[in-house]
Chain A
Amino acid sequence: MKRALKRAWAAFEIEIDISFPFPVLECLFVVPLFLASSIALQVIPTFYARSDLFPDFFRPGDIVMFIDGVGIRVFAEALYSLNAIILFIIPMIITFNLARNLENGIMKTLLSYPIGRRKLLITKVCQVVILVWFAMISGLFFSVYVFTPVMNGMPSFILMSASLLALVFAVTTTTILIAIATKSTPATAILGSGLWFSFLFLAMSRTFSSIVRGIMNPVLMAVNLEGGALGFFTDITSADLMTSIAGTLSVGFLALIISFILFDRSEI
């Protein structure tokens, strides 16, 4: 067990060195932090009230809700902005991390290490999912916590973080599937981001039911549900969001299983 872990860690380290030359990994952490901070800095949330119209017109409950919900709203707004960046960054990472290796023969060298094909693929998936998700979430939490008071609503933060994790996982595995199927750098980059950007636009367009659109982009549904009215989804519940997250994860796992089968059979 210890040996297997050591091997996996060694593979992870090699992967990081090959796939993330300076300053790719550094930018992965800095860009979300900077973007989320810029969004959190954009507003000083203000609620206006007058004593002569209080409590009939300006209700105390509205004020309390406003103060308590500020952190969630800023978090949702920043997450909404990062959503599009994720759909671009992950296919690019997979392109240079996997498709290029398949194209120029580096994969042969990687497979000469005492690690199976499936383990290598899992290492790549874990690496991208953990790094991208952790970089995004830590940047978002830090910015919101420092510049906007986070008070209540931990379940909302957990739901939004889970929706981001599901999206990152699904984008990673589907792009890996494309990379293995095409073994082409430009095809992986274009098809990977093109597919998920198309899903994003379809999710915004209201052509399909809420759940289907939620599966296409659970982050969009989560920021609508938890962060206030962005207007893309109406009448949705936490149960709908959880169904969408489960759906997106299922799409991701399905893509991963097909990737395993294709990768086992493909000639490198």
Chain B
Amino acid sequence: MKAHLARIIFVIGVTLIIVSLMAGESSNAYGPVEPNVYDAYFYAAAGNLHVTIASTDHRNLSLYFMVYDEGLRALDEKSLDNVTLLLKQENINSYEGVLIIPQQGGYVILIASANTDLNSVGYNMTVQRVIPNLSVLAIGAIMIVLVIILEWRTIYQRIIR
């Protein structure tokens, strides 16, 4: 029974390490954002997100990142004056970076035109999970180390044989 348990913990550990390295799908968003309008993308995020955004027509745009309650307030008030932001990138043509997720939950990326004229700004945005997922990788590694510590005698005897 103990041997079964050790093997189960070991293979789960290996599986978790593999899973932590899996990329998964990315979320793509595109469009023209109209002047004086916020395009909002709500994400249910469990870990850090890697975001890449680029303007498609050489005009600049602004990117804001916040928790989803704040995002709802921003949409409601049509303004960012009373909103707490986690990240602000204004007047950019492109941006690539990691959005730090403090805790599991809903988050919002707001995109706005940074131009004063009345033209819309086209953009392409890709959001991906950050690889490897460090917490899953750590759990997997701990499980493997735990099995090695508990079963080192058996492992050693098998190697000697």
Contacts and interface: CB of A to CB of B under 8 A. Distances in A.
Nearest to A27: B11
A40 B103 CA distance: 18
A121 interface: no
A151 B76 contact: no
Contacts of B34: 52
Contact of B24 (A13, A25, A41, A49): A41
A42 B23 CA distance: 9
Interface residues of B, number: 46
Given A30-B15, A33-B12, A149-B104, A51 B38 contact: yes
Contacts of B76: 54-55, 60
Nearest to B18: A34
Contacts of A66: 42, 44
B40 A29 contact: no
B37 A67 contact: no
Q: Is the interface of B mostly helix, strand, loop or mixed?
A: mixed
A44 B25 contact: yes
Interface in B7-26: 7-8, 11-12, 15-16, 18-19, 22-26
A93 B97 CA distance: 48
A145 B135 CA distance: 12
B8 A29 contact: yes
Contacts of A147: 24, 46-47, 129, 133
A148 B12 contact: no
Interface of A: 13, 16-17, 20, 22-23, 25-26, 29-30, 33-34, 37-38, 41-52, 54-55, 58, 60, 63-64, 66-67, 70-71, 143, 145-151
7 contacts: A29-B11, A41-B24, A44-B27, A44-B43, A44-B49, A48-B29, A54-B76
Q: Which 9 A-B pairs have the closest CB atoms?
A: A41-B24, A67-B106, A70-B44, A149-B104, A51-B38, A47-B42, A44-B27, A54-B75, A37-B19
Interface of B: 1, 4, 7-8, 11-12, 15-16, 18-19, 22-27, 29, 34, 36-47, 49, 68, 72, 74-76, 78, 104-106, 127-129, 133, 135-136
